[in-house]
Chain A
Amino acid sequence: MTRPIHDFRLLRPQSVDAVIEARSMHENSRIVAGGTDLIVNLRRGIGRPSVLISLDGVEEIGQTFVSPDGARIGSGVTIAAVLADRELAAKFPALAAAAMTIAGPSHRNLATVGGNLCLDTRCIYYNQSEWWRASNGYCLKHRGEVCHVAPQGDRCHAVFSGDLAPALLVHGAEVELAGSGGRRRMPLADLYREDGRAHLTLADDEILVGVHLKHESLRSGYAKVRTRKAMDFPLAGVAVALDGNVGALRALRVALTGTNSCPVLLQGTDELLGKPVDEALLKSIDKLVQRQAQPVRTTLASANYRRLAAAGLARRLTDSLATGNASVS
């Protein structure tokens, strides 16, 4: 007998509109997709929504369409389905590489793209039981007043640890949102803000409907460090997409996860275009990553390690993609 989750009502609307309606009707409600993040948190007593709105009945968000110029992935598509889609993997290699590193195989059967992108931020002081957090006086992110990681500051540094976001960012993904005000599309990067307590820019009644990808001539890859080779969130995850070769880069995008409260699309890579991929260029990437990655002690592994590992992965991935040894994870 597991410890009971608090009592709630489960709604299973059949359309995006019905989901939005349910959202606006029930103030204390939460969206559940695969539940591999949300249910785990609820079992630890993090949040007590009175209503859960399940997306599993919404057909519109459950499909992937791939066309010659791009793809649209529904937010309800499972990670396993992403992995099974060869066309998707061929066009967006970083995506498949990142998907393969998420949780464990049985989680991937439940876990969704939308859930991964909207994944709650994580912290060693937060992803703990109710007894644990209560004994510790809670924290800024949930029910408390101080941040145990950075007690002087007034923000939460809980870290975004989803693996898909950086892979989608380097492929220039846009997200499609639906809310009571209608639908909108924006760059994936705009879905996030650097705040561990409220890292999503979604409005209260908005949900993520899908992800749009444009096909570009890019080689891409994803790599992540973690202590175990499965069932471990990224201590740092890096996606790189580039076009060109060792002689000169025509396009270069680098994105990070596991380092900040939101995924980071590295700024400043444009200045490296046209240059050969040599030690000097790799050093510049290293520097950019080290400057923009801002890990703090939200994990037991040191923050410095996460920064260095992110930089090292970015260098290696860029190098191997440029030389044509596209490496996956």
Chain B
Amino acid sequence: MSSQPPPRKQIVRMRVNGRWREDAVADHALLVDYLRETAGLTGTKTGCDGGECGACAVLVDGVAVPSCITLAARCDGHSVETIEGMAQGGRLHRLQKAFHEQLGAQCGFCTPGMIMAAEALLRKNPKPTEAEIRSALSGNLCRCTGYVKIVKAVQIAAEAGS
């Protein structure tokens, strides 16, 4: 019923949280919209008009990227991890556990992006200093915590090991 024909789509294959999917995706679709609307993974959030808050951070091939300024089509053939893929075997991931227990999440809106950014850090640097943690999370804004308990949660998760 719309006034224009829908945009042309192409088949995109992506490994999302360990499972391959195949979807028809418009070239101008953003990864965040693909994840939230097409794949139904609403854990990834959006907090800004593009690239300014980090709420949408996901891992592409193991590194954190802002999914709100990443074209979905460019992830064709790549592996994407979101907050939904973190808890495994009925257990919270160590970062999730630490964020929960240390109150690293208040309203929780920045939390998925924050945890993904922290996960990217710990994979690269399992024993980060406080300054390294602060630097790794500096693209993820949080309005509730002042980052105090977020930093603490990442420290505790790091100590817990993988």
Contacts and interface: CB of A to CB of B under 8 A. Distances in A.
Contacts of B110: none
Given A104-B139, A107-B139, A110-B70, A2 B46 contact: yes
Given A106-B64, A109-B64, A231 B138 contact: yes
Interface residues of B, number: 37
Interface in B142-156: none
B50 A40 contact: yes
B50 A43 contact: yes
In the A-B complex, the 8 residue pairs with the smallest Cβ-Cβ separation, listed nearest first, are: A104-B139, A230-B138, A10-B27, A106-B64, A7-B7, A43-B50, A39-B69, A109-B63
Interface majority SS (helix, strand, loop, mixed), chain B? mixed
Interface stretch (B15-23, B51-59, B80-88, B99-107): B51-59
A39 B50 contact: yes
Contact of A105 (B7, B36, B37, B136): B136
Interface in B100-137: 117, 120, 135-137
Contacts of B46: 2
Contacts of B117: 105-106
B26 interface: yes
Interface in A113-143: 129
A231 B51 CA distance: 9
B30 to A, nearest CB: 6
A268 B57 CA distance: 45
Nearest to A9: B27
B100 to A, nearest CB: 23
B49 A3 contact: yes
Interface residues of A, number: 33
B95 to A, nearest CB: 16
Contacts of B60: 109
Contacts of A229: 138
Nearest to B6: A7
Contacts of A10: 27-28, 71, 73-74
A10 B8 CA distance: 11
A54 interface: yes
Of listed A40, A44, A54, A103, residue having the most chain B CB within 10 A: A40
A104 B27 CA distance: 26
A229 B139 CA distance: 10
Contacts of A110: 65-66, 69-70
B135 to A, nearest CB: 7
B14 interface: no
A65 interface: no
Interface of A: 1-10, 12, 32, 35-36, 39-40, 43-44, 52, 54, 56, 80, 103-107, 109-110, 129, 229-231
A54 B71 CA distance: 10
Given A9-B8, A10-B27, A1 B63 contact: no
B139 A103 contact: yes
Contacts of B27: 7-10, 52
Contacts of B69: 35-36, 39-40, 43, 110
Contacts of A9: 8, 27
B6 to A, nearest CB: 9
Contacts of A44: 49-50
Nearest to B58: A106
A2 B28 contact: no
Contacts of A80: 63
B68 interface: yes
A92 B95 CA distance: 36
Contacts of B70: 35, 39, 110
A179 B66 CA distance: 31
10 contacts: A2-B46, A8-B27, A10-B71, A12-B73, A36-B69, A39-B69, A39-B71, A43-B50, A106-B57, A229-B138
Contacts of A6: 28
A299 B130 CA distance: 32
Contacts of B54: 104, 106
Contact of B30 (A2, A8, A56, A106): A2
Contact of A106 (B7, B50, B65, B74): B65
Contacts of B66: 36, 106-107, 110
Given A2-B30, A129-B49, A231-B52, 19 more contacts: A2-B50, A8-B28, A10-B27, A35-B70, A36-B51, A36-B69, A39-B50, A43-B49, A54-B74, A103-B139, A105-B64, A105-B139, A106-B57, A106-B64, A106-B139, A107-B139, A109-B65, A110-B69, A230-B135
